[in-house]
Chain A
């Protein structure tokens, strides 16, 4: 597609429930990133996928968070047993990445998660 697509755009869930957030990156972008942004705050790195390499999970805040990327394209971020502190906007980004080259990220519009 023309941009990074995320769904749902908004999600309200009860504390303790599991949620799945979806990201469809730009076609041809090999790198995919998940960040989260709390209200009025900066961006916190969660996880990174690059091609068929093992993902960099170093930013995941707890074992309740997991993510996968199928077929090198669509990614799903899963949060189990949601807590109120998980409320934030979850942003997905993709970029072209080749060798040691660094390229700008294209972000999706995000999923606003509210845990009540």
Chain B
């Protein structure tokens, strides 16, 4: 069945340090989405990647989709306390829904 694993499960960084979370799928993905969930909040859509090798940037966030479309990464440059939360990747599960990864919980120490 569909497996989307994320590493690391937890990450603590000093404010100003960089952060990267990796998403790995057991199968080729037609697209991948990334979501952020603040503590006590709900997931919020960040971005979708579709093309092999695609790289997209949103301010300090850089998203990458692997050439084989089986892995993806999210890199945050110079973290801020507002970056705290859990970051989920999600890939299609069949035709009808998304399978969410296990998530990476980011803590930023001021």
Chain A contacts to B: CB under 8 angstroms: 33, 35, 42-43, 45, 48, 50, 56, 58-59, 91, 102-110
For chain B, the bracket of interface size reads 20 to 34
Q: Are B88 and A42 in contact (CB under 8 A)?
A: yes
Q: Are B45 and A42 in contact (CB under 8 A)?
A: no
Contact of A105 among B45, B99, B103 (CB under 8 A): B45
Q: Are B42 and A45 in contact (CB under 8 A)?
A: no
- A-B pairs with beta carbons under 8 A, tally: 48
How far is B94's CA from A50's CA once the two chains are assembled, in angstroms? 14
Chain B contacts to A: CB under 8 angstroms: 30-31, 33, 35, 41-45, 47-48, 88, 92-94, 96-103
How far is B40's CA from A110's CA once the two chains are assembled, in angstroms? 10
Q: Which residues of A contact B33 (CB under 8 A)?
A: 102, 104-105
Q: Are B48 and A104 in contact (CB under 8 A)?
A: yes
Q: Are B45 and A33 in contact (CB under 8 A)?
A: no
How far is B92's CA from A56's CA once the two chains are assembled, in angstroms? 14
Contact of A42 among B48, B93, B97, B100 (CB under 8 A): B100
Known: A42-B100, A105-B43, A105-B98. 13 other contacts (CB 8 A): A33-B98, A45-B93, A45-B98, A45-B99, A56-B94, A102-B92, A103-B48, A104-B33, A104-B47, A105-B45, A106-B45, A107-B43, A108-B42
Q: Are A102 and B48 in contact (CB under 8 A)?
A: yes
Q: Which residues of B contact A35 (CB under 8 A)?
A: 100
